[in-house]
Structure 1
């Protein structure tokens, strides 16, 4: 009994410690940190309420409220961590209905079995709902471990109350909770499962944080596209397949220095960001786009032919040239030029195609800018711009 008594105090201390850790992490831009911290904090209060000398009804009601609040925030943390809608109103209504029923069970029925069953089913439903929403989002090992441990928390909670209520003969008096087999089992299993649960949360957050730092190192902060390092990294999986197939596009903004000199660098940054957004909206989903510096962009479109690359480049050029920039105080047309080259059958990497595309870009600049040049010759418009844009949209949709 002494070891059990020690566990009853060790458990809330452990929960408070993890709560403090996650709340601190929330100050360092960990989106789910606050919800995890509140979840473990309220759970700690629930365990404290079960061991401090309070009137029976107050101890039961406050403990139940703290536990359901803890699981409310565990569920919210999972939803936040996997970027799922929070369903906060629906979950809050569920908690309110539960608290009203619990009030009746404790004050009127005074049934320990009913109170524990109701609380454990309610908390399991809250966390189980979030698990169902996020389960298919767990693609990384640390995230899968978190899903497994969250599921184990639900199973442990339900199994414990089912055994106590339906299989074990015990007192149904609220006053006998502290000496019940349920209280003993809760301290033992929750100590083990709760520790593993908290560690899995830390592991998942750590993995996500490291990934975000690595992604930040591979991304251009202005546009969100890859930088040179990120572009090379994104191409690496293609190398594993044996060879590269596709087309390379290189583009930059015509007379961009004049834009910066006349309208300011802030306006120039907006133009660069808008071109990046245009690329994202116009290219197939599997295209790999990067800002190589300044106003220069490089795009690799796996599987695209030279003609398809030309159609896509021409549609982007037409749309960008038609933009009205007066909303950022630019009172002139801004255009882009493209060079396009296909990767040859004998080429083991896109590097040679990038060199040829760059030469085509220089040819487009020399020929007057605001045009697309393919290796082998200038891209000629054989149809109306509207028809060409529609063709590009069909290409993009077919390769989405």
Structure 2
């Protein structure tokens, strides 16, 4: 049974490692670290089995190097997943220092108990430092599960260190492969590795799904929501507890002239800049989307039409003040705004969008660079709308 476990663990871990490397091809960076770490651990278990003819000491040193690499990579995968870029060199230095100590213990002292103690304790520290660094970053339920699974892996390895140090009978390096401790280590390592690998793989799969969904819901030019993403976000907002919801629809004035006179590359930069200005002005919790072409829509929870009119005014002023000459525009850029508040009798948000659209086109009809509310309130331009000067 001992031999069955000895061969089973690296095979199963190898399959998980390969799965992670496949997921990494979808652009999930942390998945490559998980895959490399799991494969390193699998090789660490298989080395003593595949080359039994070699002396014990070189085999032990090779296995230790692979286990250190595995736990270093597990921790790195965790840090990358949660967006932490710290501790790389500190953890690497610890692994190298511990490996020097292991080399002395194995080659000079020939003390198996001390070797296993230093080895397991180093693995715990390599992983625990990463776990501690991300303890406040797990917000999604799946991320919280991953965090606590990694805590379990640390605890399982630490418990094994304590048990072996205080309860296990002394054994030599030659006796280790067939010892009860080796068998227990394989069982506990199998449980810990499988739980960790399955949880991490579930997290990576969720990340891939969310990334593809975000790509489908996002506008590639501005990074804002597209119409599909807006529909999803609006449905979630309207299903919540927001009392008043207002809507701002706005469109870049004379955008066709910008494309015709300065080229589509400049036009794209104008659209990006308008998106940045609008996002900076909108209050927290708002939903902003590019609805197509040069048209944008913003949904403001807990805002009346009057408050939305004030937000649109600040947005209009920010667009006017922006230095558009940086993009090569000799004139300026303005936008026309339509405001509406969602009514209780509306069957769809698109009824409100339709009213805001009518108000926006009234703003364009009466001179552009204006804000018109579907309720009849109008904010005139503070000055005649800026003219786009064509290049000669």
With normalisation by structure 2, the TM-score equals 0.89
Gaps of 5+ in 1: 383-400
Q: Does the C-alpha gap of structure 1 residues 245 and 347 become closer, same or farther in structure 2, counting only changes over 3 Å?
A: farther
How far, CA to CA, are the matches of 1:31 and 1:289 in structure 2?
29
| Stretches (4+) displaced over 6 A | none
8 A contact 1:161–1:182 mirrored in 2: no
1:279 to 2:278 alignment = yes
Match of 1:33 among 21, 31, 35: 31
Q: Does the C-alpha gap of structure 1 residues 222 and 94 become closer, same or farther in structure 2, counting only changes over 3 Å?
A: same
Cα root mean square deviation, aligned: 2.3
Aligned-residue offset at 1:273: 1.4
Q: What residue is the counterpart of 1:160 in the other structure?
A: 160
Aligned-residue offset at 1:45: 2.2
Q: What residue is the counterpart of 1:363 in the other structure?
A: 362
8 A contact 1:223–1:276 mirrored in 2: yes
Aligned-residue offset at 1:381: 8.3
How far, CA to CA, are the matches of 2:279 and 2:120 in structure 1?
47
* 1:361 alignment partner, SS class: helix
How far, CA to CA, are the matches of 2:215 and 2:96 in structure 1?
42
8 A contact 1:322–1:333 mirrored in 2: no
8 A contact 1:249–1:309 mirrored in 2: yes
Aligned-residue offset at 1:56: 2.6
Q: What residue is the counterpart of 2:62 in the other structure?
A: 62
Aligned-residue offset at 1:209: 0.9
Mapping for residues 1-400 of structure 1, pairs under 5 Å: 3-51=1-49, 52-53=51-52, 54-171=54-171, 173-241=172-240, 244-344=243-343, 350-374=349-373, 375-379=375-379
Deviates more, 1:7-16 or 1:257-266: 7-16
Q: Does the C-alpha gap of structure 1 residues 242 and 163 become closer, same or farther in structure 2, counting only changes over 3 Å?
A: closer
How far, CA to CA, are the matches of 1:331 and 1:34 in structure 2?
49
For residues 208-237 of structure 1, the C-alpha deviation after alignment (integer angstroms, 9 at most, x for no partner) is: 111111222221121121122211211223
How far, CA to CA, are the matches of 2:103 and 2:242 in structure 1?
68
How far, CA to CA, are the matches of 2:309 and 2:326 in structure 1?
30
How far, CA to CA, are the matches of 1:177 and 1:285 in structure 2?
61
8 A contact 1:248–1:350 mirrored in 2: no
How far, CA to CA, are the matches of 2:381 and 2:369 in structure 1?
13
Deviates more, 1:14-23 or 1:296-305: 14-23
How far, CA to CA, are the matches of 1:97 and 1:40 in structure 2?
22
Aligned-residue offset at 1:253: 0.5
Gaps of 5+ in 2: 383-392
For residues 101-160 of structure 1, the C-alpha deviation after alignment (integer angstroms, 9 at most, x for no partner) is: 223332333221221111111111222222233344334443333333322222221222
For residues 182-208 of structure 1, the C-alpha deviation after alignment (integer angstroms, 9 at most, x for no partner) is: 211121222233223222222111111
8 A contact 1:248–1:298 mirrored in 2: yes
For residues 23-60 of structure 1, the C-alpha deviation after alignment (integer angstroms, 9 at most, x for no partner) is: 23222312212111210121122112333323232222
How far, CA to CA, are the matches of 2:335 and 2:323 in structure 1?
14
How far, CA to CA, are the matches of 1:209 and 1:26 in structure 2?
9
8 A contact 2:37–2:71 mirrored in 1: yes
Deviates more, 1:238-247 or 1:82-91: 238-247
How far, CA to CA, are the matches of 2:68 and 2:283 in structure 1?
46
* 1:247 alignment partner, SS class: strand
How far, CA to CA, are the matches of 1:339 and 1:62 in structure 2?
69
How far, CA to CA, are the matches of 2:242 and 2:92 in structure 1?
54
Aligned length: 379
